[in-house]
Each structure stands twice: as C-alpha cells, then as structure tokens.
Amino acid sequence: MQDQLFKKIDKLFPEMVEIRRYMHQHPELSFQEINTAQYIQSYYEKLGIEVRANVGGNGVVAKIHGGRPGKTVALRADFDALPIQDEKDVPYKSLVPGVMHACGHDGHTATLLVLAKVLYEARETLQGTYVMIHQHAEEYAPGGAISMIEDGCLEGVKVIFGTHLWATEPTGTIQYRIGPIMAAADRFEIAIQGKGGHGAQPHKTKDAIVAGAQMVSTLQQIVSRRVDPVDSAVVTVGSFVADNAFNVIADKAKLIGTVRTFNESTRDFIAAEIEKVVHGTCLATDCTYDYQYEKGYPAVVNHGAETEFLIDSATKVPEVTKIEESDLQMGGEDFAYYLQHVKGTFFFTGAKPETEGSYPHHHPKFDFDEKAMVIAAKTLCAAALNYQTKEQTKHEKSETLA
C-alpha cells in the first residue's frame, strides 16, 4: 500500500511543482490570504473532498475518511507569505510587489494538496481519517494556529505531524528533535521620554539617546550574566529610533526587540529583567519610560514517542538519505499550539538548492529544491499510514490481553 502511494506521489510531482510555482507568483501576507485560501478550497472541492473554509479566519480544513476504521491523524501546512521583494531571476518570480514566499510555505501547501489527492484516491483501502490543516498567518503573531484550534480544527484528532522545508540542509535530510526544537518568540518595546534641547547644551537636557544606548548595552548582560549558561536564550534589540538632527539632543527614543527562549520560567524571568534594566537606566538618566512586553508563540515542544515514530517512518522513504537530530532553532513557529493540545511532532525536511549561492529563509533571493516536496509528502504519508497500523496493533494486543 505505502509503496503504491509513493509511486503516485512521484507521478504527481509535476502537479506539485505547478501548484507551488503558481502560489509563489501570487503570494499574500498574513491575515490577507483570501485568494490563496480560495485556491486551496477549490482544489479540494474539485476532487470531491470534504472541506471547510474560513476556519479561524482564512484557514482551510479538509477531511479524508478511510474505508476502514482507525484513528484521526492531522497533517498541517501553512500558506502565508512575507513582506519582502522577490529578487530571484526565475520564471515563477512573485508578481506581487513587495511580497514573496521567502520561507517555503508555498511548497508546504503544494506538498499537502498533492498528498491529500493521493490519499483520497486510495481512501477505500485506508484506515481512519486524515485531517489536512491549511493554516493562514504563521509568520505574524498571534498567528493562525490558535484561532483554527479554537474553531475546531483538532476535533477528534489523535496525533499531528508537520514539517518545514529547510533550505539550509541538503535534500534527502530529515531532522528531528525530542522536546524543544524551536524557541518561544516574544517582542518588547521601550519608549523613552527625556527632555530635548540644543546639542551644545547637554546639561539642560535629559538625553533619550544616551539612555537608550545604555539600555542596549546593559540588556546584553541579561543572557550573559543572569541566565544559566546551559539554558539557551537570546535578547536582541532590532530597532533604535530617535530624532535625527545632528545638533539636537533627542527628547524621545524607542527600542524594539525580541526575546527567544525554550524554558517558560526563563521567558518570564527575562521579561522582568528587561524592565529592571529599563527602570534603573531611566532612574539614573532622569528619564521616564513605557515598557511593553508581548508574548508571541510558545516554544515548539515535540512529544517523545511520536518523534521516535516519525524517525522510524522516515527510514521507509527511499529518498531519505540522512536522519539526524536537529540543533535547537531560535526561530518561532505557531505549530507549538497544536502540540499543546494533541500529541505529535514537527520536523525539518532538507531542501537546499543544488545550485551554488543558495540563500537562507526570509532572504529576497530565497528558493528551495522542489524535489524536497516529494520527500516531505512521502514522510508525512508514511507517518500517517504507519500510525494507523501502530494504533491498530495496540488495540488488537489490548483485546487479546483482555
């Protein structure tokens, strides 16, 4: 059965590429993916697959019911793009100015759509139910996952699997990790209020830029001197904005940054430590401040048994040449919310282009090896099918013992 489905996936690779390239040419930003969602919905409707649109916003959920009893397995793909100008010189370059798929979400969508088609054609021979979760707004907090969950996308789901095409690793590689694999991603904003004045008379001012500069420097000591060295964390100030006249001392400055952590207590600790730094600096410089800390996605924490099961399933995919443990990734992913509700795992599928000079995710020239979509589809397929077999075996054993 599995080998037959793999052959069908191979046969439909040109369709997978066609879908991916169409989506790459017509990207839409987070929470604005109206046409993309309609495209996905229409694809399922033409096949006759049960589909529900507007799930938690722009999300789309399709269900494939097998002809034999079994569990409900969910597979997830995201479909939003980024506010980046596509600088690639390829026929499928984005047609939307300032917007592009720079993270592989177009490939995730094409992978899941074609896999759904393959599963649906074989539905009479399959066990259980397969829920295809097409999620909007992964790139922009609060993200689409949490609203889709609230709208019932995980109803009845026993396990969930998800993958990210990973263009920094060679095609044929599957990377996994038990426990935390991607970090919680938070945002902070500090508005400093001083007293402006002439650049030649600093003694009559309260310099917001000096206060901000001290904060940038001191904030770096939170991780290096206040967090346990074995507990990974990042504090980054990504924006420092103030008045820009050369001979004026600024009365206002604003710092915006991000915090990345894996441990929830460390996450709360750093949020509190940032305010201590801000409060102390403003006290010393006689400025006032407004501090806002916004929690984004929690850490992606994979479940042990399900990850081990994914590893075993990946060994059954002929094109997989390497299976290895992933390093901790400081990027965020709202797949984390699914794993807080049901068991499952999130893994990386290597998709590094064969051409020299490949570019990382979120780069204006980002691209990936499209053959990796076949590997992603087969790995997800193997995980879904083998999970049904595993659960059936457990059920039969329990009945025998009873």
In the chain, what's the furthest Cα-to-Cα distance? 88
- Mark whether 40 and 120 lie in a shared domain: yes
- Mark whether 307 and 164 lie in a shared domain: yes
- The single residue of 33, 78, 80, 207 carrying the catalytic annotation is 80
Kindly report, residue by residue over 88-118, the tens digit of the pLDDT.
999 999 999 999 999 999 999 999 999 999 9
Question: Does 134 count as an annotated binding residue?
Answer: no
Confidence of residue 391 (pLDDT cuts 50, 70, 90): confident
- Mark whether 276 and 361 lie in a shared domain: no
Is beta strand 68-78 parallel, antiparallel or unpaired with respect to 159-170?
parallel
Give the pLDDT mean for 352-371: 93
- Mark whether 19 and 30 lie in a shared domain: yes
Torsion, CA 85, CA 79, CA 56, CA 341, rounded to 10: -120
- Mark whether 47 and 115 lie in a shared domain: yes
Place of tokens 């204006």: 364
Nearest-angstrom CA–CA distance, 37 and 58: 6
Confidence of residue 402 (pLDDT cuts 50, 70, 90): low
- Mark whether 177 and 199 lie in a shared domain: no
- The single residue of 33, 78, 138, 251 carrying the catalytic annotation is 138
Q: Which two tokens mark 348?
A: 């990386």
Residue 33, CA distances (Å) to 30, 54, 105, 310, 347 in order: 6, 11, 12, 31, 25
pLDDT at 358: 85
Give the pLDDT mean for 368-372: 98
Q: Is 60 exposed, middle or buried (0-12, 13-18, 19+ CB in 10 A)?
A: buried
pLDDT of residue 398 exceeding 70, the answer is no
CATH number at residue 380: 3.40.630.10
Place of tokens 């507007």: 54
Kindly report, residue by residue over 206-248, the tens digit of the pLDDT.
999 999 999 999 999 999 999 999 999 999 999 999 988 999 9
Give the pLDDT mean for 63-79: 98
- Mark whether 145 and 197 lie in a shared domain: no
Question: Does 279 count as an annotated binding residue?
Answer: no
281, 297, 313 - which closes a domain = 297
Question: Does 108 count as an annotated binding residue?
Answer: no
Share of the chain above pLDDT 90, in %: 95
Nearest-angstrom CA–CA distance, 105 and 165: 8
Confidence of residue 395 (pLDDT cuts 50, 70, 90): low
Question: Does 103 count as an annotated binding residue?
Answer: yes
Count of domains forming the chain:
2
- Mark whether 212 and 307 lie in a shared domain: no
Bond prior to 142 in cis (omega within 30° of 0): yes
- Mark whether 7 and 134 lie in a shared domain: yes
pLDDT of residue 81 exceeding 70, the answer is yes
Give the pLDDT mean for 332-345: 98
pLDDT at 244: 81
297, 317, 345 - which closes a domain = 297
Kindly report, residue by residue over 289-327, the tens digit of the pLDDT.
999 999 999 999 999 999 999 999 999 999 999 999 999
Angle between helices 372-401 and 304-314 (to 10 degrees): 120
- Mark whether 151 and 245 lie in a shared domain: no
Question: Does 139 count as an annotated binding residue?
Answer: yes
Kindly report, residue by residue over 36-48, the tens digit of the pLDDT.
999 999 999 999 9
Give the pLDDT mean for 195-202: 96
Phi/psi region, residue 248 (left: phi>0; alpha: psi -120 to 50; beta: rest), is beta
Which contiguous run of DSSP H or E holds residue 377? Answer: helix 372-401
- Mark whether 152 and 224 lie in a shared domain: no
266, 297, 328 - which closes a domain = 297
Quickly count: other Cβ atoms within 10 Å of residue 68's Cβ: 13
- The answer to whether 319 is a known catalytic residue is no
Kindly report, residue by residue over 152-193, the tens digit of the pLDDT.
999 999 999 999 999 999 999 999 999 999 999 999 999 999
Tell me what the pLDDT averaged over the chain comes to: 96
CATH number at residue 191: 3.30.70.360
Whether 340 contacts 157, CB under 8 Å: no
Could you tell me the pTM of the whole model?
Answer: 0.94
- The domain containing residue 259 runs over which residues? 184-297
Q: What angle do CA 380, 384, 390 make, to 5 degrees?
A: 135
- The answer to whether 207 is a known catalytic residue is no
Quickly count: other Cβ atoms within 10 Å of residue 129's Cβ: 21
- Mark whether 349 and 306 lie in a shared domain: yes
